Structure 1
């Protein structure tokens, strides 16, 4: 895959090392890939919100969740808001490779039926 790359990083609360959320972004073929690692909760929600906020970037975003160990309702609400914003801008949000615990959370609240959720990053990028 030919890639034009832009890299950006966001980290929640620098003093919260063990459960901190990190977000690294790249752009490949007009799709912004946000790779998340750590826990998504009310302490790290602002970092997730900033990572998914792409006012000057492409309105097509894949959130790679393969390194997210926990997500609560704060994360669900942020994902729904990002999905709505990106859809209104003519784009989309896809979730890729959620860990089993995160996938279970997504399924319990039904987010996987609202936001396109794929097993792998490759599947999410291919559409």
Structure 2
């Protein structure tokens, strides 16, 4: 894909079951894009945790597209907090894109937005 292009994941996404989480992984310009749909909590967090695993990846660059996340509890916060230094230790980075207002408020209250780059749009998160 060309520089700055947003990956086409619309066709690959499926609606999660009520209270569930869908994680669709794509790649654009060497950046792994995780498009999330649904809720992140202690029942669904394992899917996100697995998708954010950077074991064996050199310089991982990951954008988590959160515009379709309707709820996130402390489980999701802890997964993101753990993934950030893991990506940095491997020479890469983690960015959050377009969190919905309620999710953004949670990120801000806990202070996650102070150390994990949180961008207003997916396009912004994909730019260098």
Per the TM superposition, whether the score is higher than 0.5 is yes
Q: RMSD of the TM alignment (CA)?
A: 2.2
The alignment partner of 2:32 has SS state of strand
1:114: which partner in 2? 115
Q: Does 1:105 align with 2:111?
A: no
What does the per-residue CA deviation read over 1:20-52, in whole Å, with 9 as the maximum and x for residues that have no partner?
A: 100001111110000001000000110110111
User: Structure 1 regions of 5+ residues with no counterpart?
Assistant: none
Distance (whole Å) between structure 2 residues aligned to residue 68 and residue 110 of structure 1: 18
Larger relative contact order (Cα-Cα within 8 Å, sequence gap ≥ 6): 2
Distance (whole Å) between structure 2 residues aligned to residue 34 and residue 54 of structure 1: 13
Distance (whole Å) between structure 1 residues aligned to residue 84 and residue 54 of structure 2: 12
Q: Does 1:43 align with 2:48?
A: no
Distance (whole Å) between structure 2 residues aligned to residue 56 and residue 34 of structure 1: 18
Contact 2:54 2:86 in 1 (8 A): no
TM-score w.r.t. the length of structure 2 is: 0.85
Instruction: Number of aligned residue pairs: give it.
Output: 119
Distance (whole Å) between structure 2 residues aligned to residue 2 and residue 53 of structure 1: 26
Distance (whole Å) between structure 2 residues aligned to residue 101 and residue 117 of structure 1: 14
Per-residue deviation at 1:115?
Answer: 0.1
